[in-house]
Amino acid sequence: MAIHSTFPYIVIDSLKIGCMNLENTQVQMRKGILEFCILHIISRGEVYASDMLEELTAAKMIVVEGTLYPLLTRLKNAGLLEYKWVESKSGPPRKYYTLTSQGKKFLDGLSDTWKDLVLSTQKITNNSIA
Distance CA 85, CA 94 (A): 6
Using rule CB under 8 A, residue 50 touches its own copies: no
Residue 63's nearest CA partner among 36, 92, 27, 89 is 27
Using rule CB under 7 A, residue 15 touches DNA: no
φ/ψ of residue 46, rounded to 5: -65, 130
63 neighbors 92 (Cβ within 8 angstroms):
no
Which residues 58-117 are close enough to bind its own copies by CB under 8 A? 58-61, 74-75, 77-80, 84-87, 92-93, 106, 109-111, 113-114, 116-117
For the chain, first and last CA: distance in Å?
26
Using rule CB under 8 A, residue 40 touches its own copies: yes
The site map against its own copies for 20-39 (x = CB under 8 A) is x-x--xxxxxxxxx-xxx--
What letter represents residue 18's amino acid? G
Chain residues binding its own copies by CB under 8 A are: 1-8, 16-20, 22, 25-33, 35-37, 40-41, 43-44, 55-56, 58-61, 74-75, 77-80, 84-87, 92-93, 106, 109-111, 113-114, 116-121, 123-125, 127-128
